[in-house]
Structure 1
Amino acid sequence: MAVNPVLVVKVDESTVGVRARLYDDFSEHKIVLNSVLTYWWANDMPPALKFLELLDSVIKRTINEIMPHKTLNLKYDVKANEVLEKASEIEINLVSVAADDVGFKIDGNIISLKGIRNVESDFEDSEYSTSFDKCIETPYIVLKKYLEMEDKK
């Protein structure tokens, strides 16, 4: 019986933790929300969109550290209280994660963030939802480095 790798996502008031595990090997990274939100606010960047980009990158890096791969397939649904460029609340439901066609069991697939953007007093919520189905390639030079790291273990 084959063992599927596991992706664990934990959210608290100040961090989003992403941990990948395969047998006894694991990798973990945290997104410190206060730091990234402050940077995005100071540079007038849309926090919901930037968070999705950062989450993709953190998942990819975390998985690459235990299981070097060429392609990462991510599927997730997003609900927000406004279009993503203006949203102050966002909920992400990770549907599936696969590295080179090896599927991950997902533990903690819902990520919910509130207050990621200041809103004006006349702001009215309007439900917005969308889905993402991404195929993220690992550049050859990066994959080579992860494979070298794997060989040294």
Structure 2
Amino acid sequence: MVVSPVLVIKIVDDSSVGVRARWRDDFVEHHIVLNSVLAYWWANELPPGVKFLELLESVIKRTINELTPHKTLKLKYAVKADNVLEKASDMEINLIEVEADDIGFKIDGKTLALKGLRKSSDVEDEKIPFNGTFDKVIETPDIVLKKYRQMKDK
């Protein structure tokens, strides 16, 4: 019987998003604290929908790298949003595929629904709903990969 690694994405008590990677008896977990990142993005007039996707990709990459260091991470996910990503307030992210150096992860908690990404004071023009799929290949720089392998070997 082959044991596949598992990636779990979930909303924790409406204030953070948990990202956990597990393989056999090992696991690594990180959280994205929504209030903190949203306040920063709002204060700096950054598009929360776009920035959240970038942050989620980065946290998934880091979490899996700490569990099993890898050179290439393939992520495939679908996004539905109430508006174009730069102006989206509500979005649903559905993870389709996660693979680290040809090791496929079973995905638990495939769908993540976020609401209230935009400030309520933001003036809305006409909304153009967004529905798209992202297929990403994220490389780990060699120097960073070396550090993850050193951490794992300790």
Please give the range of the TM-score, normalised by the shorter of the 2 chains: over 0.9
In structure 2, how many angstroms separate the alpha carbons of the residues matched to 1:143 and 1:122?
Answer: 43
- The TM-score, its normalising length taken from structure 2, stands at 0.95
Name the residue aligned to 1:140. Answer: 142
In structure 2, how many angstroms separate the alpha carbons of the residues matched to 1:14 and 1:122?
Answer: 25
In structure 2, how many angstroms separate the alpha carbons of the residues matched to 1:127 and 1:97?
Answer: 26
RMSD: 1.2
Q: Which runs of 5+ in 2 are unaligned?
A: none
Name the amino acid aligned to 1:91: E
Name the residue aligned to 2:17. Answer: 16
Name the residue aligned to 1:64. Answer: 65
Name the residue aligned to 1:2. Answer: 2
Aligned residues with identical type, % of pairs: 66
| 1:31-70: CA deviation from partner (whole Å, max 9, x where unpaired) | 0000000000000000000000000000000000110000
Q: How far is the alpha carbon of 1:118 from its aligned partner? A: 2.5
Instruction: State the secondary structure of the residue aligned to 1:85.
Output: helix
Name the residue aligned to 1:151. Answer: 153
Post-superposition, which runs of at least 4 consecutive aligned residues in structure 1 deviate over 3 A? Answer: 119-126
Name the amino acid aligned to 2:75: L
Does structure 1 conserve the Cα–Cα contact (< 8 Å) formed by 2:92 and 2:113?
yes
Rate the CA distance shift 1:121–1:52 in 2: closer, same or farther, 3 A: closer
Q: Which runs of 5+ in 1 are unaligned?
A: none
- The TM-score, its normalising length taken from structure 1, stands at 0.95
Find 1:130's aligned residue among 129, 132, 148.
132
Q: How far is the alpha carbon of 1:124 from its aligned partner? A: 4.5
Aligned residues: 152
Rate the CA distance shift 1:150–1:14 in 2: closer, same or farther, 3 A: same
Q: How far is the alpha carbon of 1:83 from its aligned partner? A: 0.5
